[in-house]
A = this chain, B = another copy of it.
Amino acid sequence: MGNVMTDAERLNLELRRNAPAAALSLSSLARRAAFPKGIPVQAAQASGCEYRATIGQVTNREGEPVPLPTMKKMLGDLDPRMSFLYSPQGGAPALRAAWRKRLLANEPNVEISLPMVTFALTHGISLVADLFVDEGVEVIVPNPSWGNYKGIFGLRRGAKFTTWDFFTGDGKLNIAGLKAALDATKGRSVVILNFPGNPTGYSPLHDEVEPLLEVLTSHKRPTVVVCDDAYQGLVFEDNANVKSLFFELTRRSDKNLLLPVKVDGATKELAFFGGRVGFLTFGLNREDSEPLIEKARAIARATVSSPPGPSQAVVLAALESPGIEEEIAQIRELLATRYRALREALPLVADSGFVPYPFNAGCFALLKAPENIDVEDLRLFLIENYSIGLVALPTVGALRIAYCSMDERDIRPMFIRLSTALADYTADKS
């Protein structure tokens, strides 16, 4: 007598056949996960019925929502079905298709999954953590990197962090450091790439791309490579790479060893910080990726359920608007103006002993403090005495300047004041 296979086991089996690296990389949580045959599935099966009494939401005879008039008026320019009714689990199909089309617009000859809509990028990364990280699994992140990776992979999943210094001593991207970190892993691992990066504001130079890809595709243990593409497209120098590494990784990946994952969204790419719309995409073809998407949807269903309707409606309408790429280009140009203003202002602090790390992209620049400076103490000193608000990064002894949030006309005056402030502070400490 054979045992009946559970839905989760069936998904696991499909992954073992079609995406071995993904199958080997699943967390114990992910191995158990399958989308439950609950209300959403039953409602979908009844969607063609004349009489439908499946979902606990208020609709009229035509299946349209019945919003409160005051609220309907406030969202009058959006499709009320998207705004007021439950979104399908995993996001609105039209939005998922539109984002996929946008991803592939300049990337021929690559097979990727249908993107799943997430509650912005943190949620996308959190799903990666739930899918692929168990206690002790090695998560490889650069130092410095976004502080919240520690929360997402550490607090909830108990990951073991392996760090590599993002910059070499002479201020270059430390590709050998990434390779050494990867070579030192004992088992399966999850590698986070974040280009352009937070807090580094760095995108690889063109001649750094091939060595990076080589390190990742030549590794001989199962690896999930997560491209955190939050700042996709915000590149301000001609010698730096604009395209996400996700696509080339997907083209070259051996499915037995490597699973490329892309996390991105409207947050920065469409300047919709409050919207909370992101996407999770796998570097596998649509069919082979379905079990992974189903597991991600199951985990999301048990955490936050379906994503926000009004935000999805706005992003979908924006993507369908003919002038949207031009509007995005204008925001990029605005940031480029701020980037150039920062470049021009940097010589003002050249004598301070504070040295900028290389930066060419994204929203940030880092200013490395002299060895003996406590940057957290300095940060508070700048707030209290000079009314300058920056972010301290004690792990690399640097200050992060989010120039994206400053008017370009204010950058030079701030640096004039910062020059005085740094001299004041270092004189005080010496």
Contacts and interface: CB of A to CB of B under 8 A. Distances in A.
Interface of A: 29, 32-33, 36, 38-39, 42-43, 45-61, 65-71, 73-78, 82-87, 119-120, 122-123, 126, 130, 147-148, 150-152, 155-156, 198, 268, 270-276, 298-299, 301-311, 313-315, 317-318, 321, 323-324, 327-328, 331, 334-335, 362-364, 379-380, 383, 387-392, 401-407, 409-410, 413-414, 417
A401 B53 CA distance: 5
Given A126-B304, A303-B126, A406 B51 contact: yes
A391 B39 contact: yes
B324 A271 contact: no
9 contacts: A29-B156, A36-B151, A43-B391, A52-B406, A53-B390, A70-B323, A71-B315, A84-B275, A126-B304
Report copies per complex: 2
A299 B148 CA distance: 11
B29 A155 contact: yes
A327 B410 contact: no
B324 A70 contact: yes
B122 A389 contact: no
B310 A50 contact: no
A85 B410 CA distance: 20
B54 A273 contact: no
A328 B417 CA distance: 54
From A56, A70, A275, A414, residue with most partner B Cβ within 10 Å: A56
Contacts of A308: 119, 274-276, 308, 310-311
Nearest to A120: B305
From A32, A52, A122, residue with most partner B Cβ within 10 Å: A52
